[in-house]
Amino acid sequence: MMSSPDLDELLSAARDARERAYAPYSNFRVGAALDAGDGNVIVGSNVENASYGLSMCAERSAIFAAVSAGFRDFTAIAIAGPEGVLTSPCGACRQVLAEFNPNMVVVFTASDEAIETTAAELLPHSFGPFV
Ligand code: THU
């Protein structure tokens, strides 16, 4: 069985995914990497659109890609925004993270600072899930 990636490896995968962001409107590139168990790392990046409101965050891109690939049991997500910018997940992404695991570790970093928290801490008293 493959071992779980540690948080540094997840952050590194998030930084790699950030390079693949499509963010020509904001120029704010974000990557995210999920630990989906058994050594599986699923990444996402933000994907913007000329119709700005259709843009998708890196975190939800990662979750939706992972669920579509058959993974649901996420234990951790790392998020990498632009270098030096502490990029924490937006409200919509917090709700989507909490859907799958409120205890999911969430780590985000700027150059010299890293915050490690959980989905539940980022979204207290959250709505649902009811499945
Ligand atoms: N964005 C993310 O991908 N994740 C975050 O945590 C914050 C914001 C994206 C959305 C948009 O494409 C750009 O960053 C600027 O808001």
Q: What confidence tier does 2 reach under pLDDT thresholds 50, 70, 90?
A: low
Q: Is 59 a catalytic residue?
A: yes
Residue nearest to atom 5 of ligand 1 (CA): 89
Assess contact for 109 and 81: CB atoms under 8 A: no
With a cut of 90, say whether residue 104 has pLDDT above it: yes
Which residues lie below 8 Å from residue 52, measured CB to CB, with a gap of 6+? 25
Q: What's the CATH superfamily of 7-122?
A: Cytidine Deaminase, domain 2 (3.40.140.10)
Residue nearest to atom 2 of ligand 1 (CA): 57
Q: Where are the alpha helices (DSSP H) in 1-111?
A: 7-18, 58-68, 91-100
pLDDT of residue 112: 79
* pLDDT, mean of residues 45-53: 98
Give domain limits for the chain: 7-122
**How, if at all, do strands 105-110 and 76-80 pair?**
parallel
Residue nearest to atom 8 of ligand 1 (CA): 57
The pTM of the full predicted model, rounded to 2 decimals, is 0.96
State pLDDT tens for residues 71-96: 999 999 999 999 999 999 999 999 99
Residue 103: CB within 6 Å of ligand 1? no
DSSP state, residue 8: H
Residue 18 to residue 15: CA distance in whole angstroms:
5
Ligand 1 nearest-atom number relative to CA 46: 3
Residue 128 CA, ligand 1 centroid: distance in Å? 24
Distance (Å) of CA 71 to CA 31, 41, 64, 117: 19, 10, 10, 22
Residue 70 CA, ligand 1 centroid: distance in Å? 25
Q: What confidence tier does 129 reach under pLDDT thresholds 50, 70, 90?
A: confident
Considering 19, 48, 59, 99, which one is annotated as catalytic?
59
